[in-house]
Amino acid sequence: MASSPRILIVDDDSVITHLITLMLQKKGYNIIGKFSTGEEALLKSAELNPDLVIMDIRLTGHLDGIATARYIFKIFQFPVIFIAGKEDENLLDNALYSEPYGILFKPFMDLELKSNVDLAIYNHSIRKKSLGSYLLGEPNKVVEVNEVIIVMDPKGRIIFFNHYAAWFIDLPGPEILMSYWRDVLMLIDDLTGEELKDPINDVAKHGAVVIHDTNTAIVTKSGKRRKISILVQPLLDERGKLLVLTMKIREKKL
């Protein structure tokens, strides 16, 4: 027997979230998570591994629904359906760049919701074969790998980090999302203790790949100092435009 589709709901309106939950649970769907901000949804989506994300197109916070959906789909290949109101019509052209699998306008009935969900999941199962490899790696492996993985927007603000990063760099939790990376850790020369040049500008503006593999260390907010190798590189979308920056860090044993 096939397992129930796994649905992630992202909406800052608790009433809408509750109604969608009731409608879908009544039809046998598995609601695996509910978030009110795009930042939390992006951070947790790889861990939860949803079959579909239902997202409010107009979220409050640093990441609106369109930006969040774009990152979730481009990085992790999770399909997204938008929930929108008639007042959101001016956002639709911009929303298309996130490649949603549907847009559901409020108010809607449970049958309309179910048909959109089923169609999106089916279409994604067909399309996924043509999407190619993951930009960052398979979501479950990104979450669990014993290597620091931090994803930043083009301005260097943190939008995702994996479990190992949270432990290795003493990241406190979701509250550091959208913080500039240098507010979380310091990159230094291990011999002189001097802070190294911020690599983000070269990576973001010039598409360079920055590697520090010799005499390099990080200092965390809690004061821990670790000798490391670091790779910072850009990830581009299908149009060749900068999508995100990734930082991968490995500890160097003494």
Tens of pLDDT, residue by residue over 36-94, are 999 999 999 999 999 999 999 989 888 999 999 999 999 999 999 999 888 877 788 78
Regarding whether 84 and 149 lie in a shared domain, the answer is no
Instruction: Evaluate whether residue 18 is within a structural domain.
Output: yes
Residue 182 falls within a domain, yes or no?
A: yes
Q: What is the DSSP letter of 195?
A: B
Question: Are residues 114 and 17 part of one domain?
Answer: yes
Is the pLDDT higher at 104 or at 171?
Answer: 104
- Say yes or no: 150 and 247 in one domain: yes
- Reading the block at residue 175, the tokens are 């509250």
CA of 70: how far to CAs of 20, 64, 134, 215, in Å? 22, 10, 14, 37
User: Residue 12 falls within a domain, yes or no?
Assistant: yes
Answer whether residue 210 is part of any domain.
Answer: yes
Q: Decide: residue 159, CB within 10 A, 0-12 exposed, 13-18 middle, 19+ buried.
A: buried
CA distance 227 to 215: 7
125 and 181 fall within a common domain: no
CATH number for the domain harbouring residue 219: 3.30.450.20
Q: Which residue, chain included where needed, has tokens 């956002």?
A: 91
- In the chain, DSSP assigns E strands to 6-10, 30-35, 52-56, 80-84, 102-105, 148-152, 158-161, 185-189, 210-212, 216-220, 225-236, 242-251
Question: Model pTM?
Answer: 0.91
In this prediction, residue 2 carries a pLDDT of: 62
Whether residues 123 and 176 share a domain: the answer is no
Summarised one tens digit per residue, pLDDT across range 125-179 is: 999 888 888 988 999 999 999 999 999 999 999 999 999 999 998 887 788 899 9
11 and 123 both lie in a single domain: yes
Q: What are the angstrom distances between the C-alpha of 141 and each of 36, 121, 173?
A: 26, 22, 20
171 falls within a domain: yes
Same-domain status, 122 and 161: no
Q: Are 56 and 13 in contact (CB under 8 A)?
A: yes
Give the pLDDT mean for 96-117.
91
Between 213 and 120, the more confident residue is 120
Query: Residue 135 domain-assigned?
Result: no
In a domain, 67, yes or no: yes
Within this chain, do residues 119 and 18 fall inside the same structural domain, yes or no? Answer: yes
Shared domain for 107 and 216, answered yes or no, is no
Q: Residue 254 — pLDDT band, cuts 50, 70, 90?
A: low
- Do 118 and 207 sit in the same domain of this protein? no
Pair 14, 120 in one domain: yes
Q: Could you tell me if residue 232 is inside a domain?
A: yes
Q: pLDDT tens digits for 174-217?
A: 888 999 999 999 999 999 999 999 988 889 888 889 888 889 99
Structure confidence at residue 95 (pLDDT): 84
Number of domains in the chain: 2
Which pLDDT band, with edges at 50, 70 and 90, does 1 fall under?
very low
- Token duo for residue 196: 């190294």
CA atoms of 128 and 71, how far apart (whole Å): 16
Do residues 120 and 161 share a domain? no
- Find the domain containing 221 and state its range: 145-251
Q: Measure the CA–CA gap between 99 and 73, rounded to whole angstroms.
A: 8
